[in-house]
Amino acid sequence: MTRLVQSLRRLARPAWPVVLRRRTPVSAYWGFDRGTPVDRYYIERFLRNHSADIHGRVLEVQDRLYTTRFGTRVEHSDVLDIDAGNTRATILADLAAAGAISDATYDCIVLTQTLQLIYDVQAAIAHCHRILRRNGVLLATVPSASRVVGNPEMPLDYWRFTTSSCRRLFADRFGETQVAVQSFGSLSTVCAFLYGLAHEELPRQRLDFHDPRFPLIVGVRAVKA
């Protein structure tokens, strides 16, 4: 009887609007071809809220986009990448094996949407802690929900994160009192991101609504004591 009632309720209130009937996203490029991807709305909000931390000697991965956009009183900026073809990189290294970078070099590390691509996450966080100066700040964002990067058959994309896993991962190295973790997103923004919509296509009130049960990204601020 219960199954019959549930079936009748589903027929009376179908849960499949037109967009959810698609088998492919509306954008194959995360939404960049339509505007700005939804996850970038939250990444940029997180960095904007902590722009005062982006100062002195700063390290960013792949390019200087966020250092330039949100940095204050930046004295020197480096770009880390494992790809030798990246002409913007000033340091070629795997963050999980970055022993060539000297201890206590940076005041801030901007690490956005990177750790999911590194298998040895703990080693990467350990190197970030090591190369930060005293009171230096790591500003990291990681995906909680996302399509797979690259070819699903290739070992490139390894992890998705929750607020709980981030608290433990970063506290193990930085100390529990030195880590602040915040999630962003909701069911509707997770769906919009997976379908490749741009955040400009969503109402502001929908973007700003937060449901911790359905995080899109997690932001971490970790300070070296």
Interval 169-183: pLDDT, tens: 999 999 999 999 999
What pLDDT digit, counting tens, does each position of 26-81 carry?
888 999 999 999 999 999 999 999 999 999 999 999 999 999 999 999 999 999 99
> Domain count of the chain?
1
Is 170 part of a structural domain of the chain? yes
Is 7 part of a structural domain of the chain? no
Is 195 part of a structural domain of the chain? no
Of the listed ranges 1-5, 103-107, 112-116, 164-168, the least confidently predicted one is 1-5
Task: Please give, one letter per residue, the 3-state secondary structure of the chain.
Answer: CHHHHHHHHHHHCCCCCHHHHCCCCCCCCCCCCCCCEHHHHHHHHHHHHCHHHCCEEEEEECCCHHHHHHCCCEEEEEEEECCCCCCCCCEECCHHHCCCCCCCCEEEEEEECCHHHCCCHHHHHHHHHHHEEEEEEEEEEEECCCCCCCCCCCCCCCCCCCHHHHHHHHHHHHCHHHEEEEEECCHHHHHHHHCCCEHHHCCHHHHHCCCCCCCCEEEEEEECC
> What is the reported pTM?
0.91
Is 80 part of a structural domain of the chain? yes
CATH number at 120 reads: 3.40.50.150
150 band by pLDDT with thresholds 50, 70 and 90: confident
Is 200 part of a structural domain of the chain? no
Is 130 part of a structural domain of the chain? yes
- Quote the domain boundaries for residue 56: 42-185+215-223
Is 191 part of a structural domain of the chain? no
In this predicted structure, what is the pLDDT of residue 215?
Answer: 98
Q: Please check the confidence at residue 13 and state whether its pLDDT lies above 80.
A: no
Is 34 part of a structural domain of the chain? no
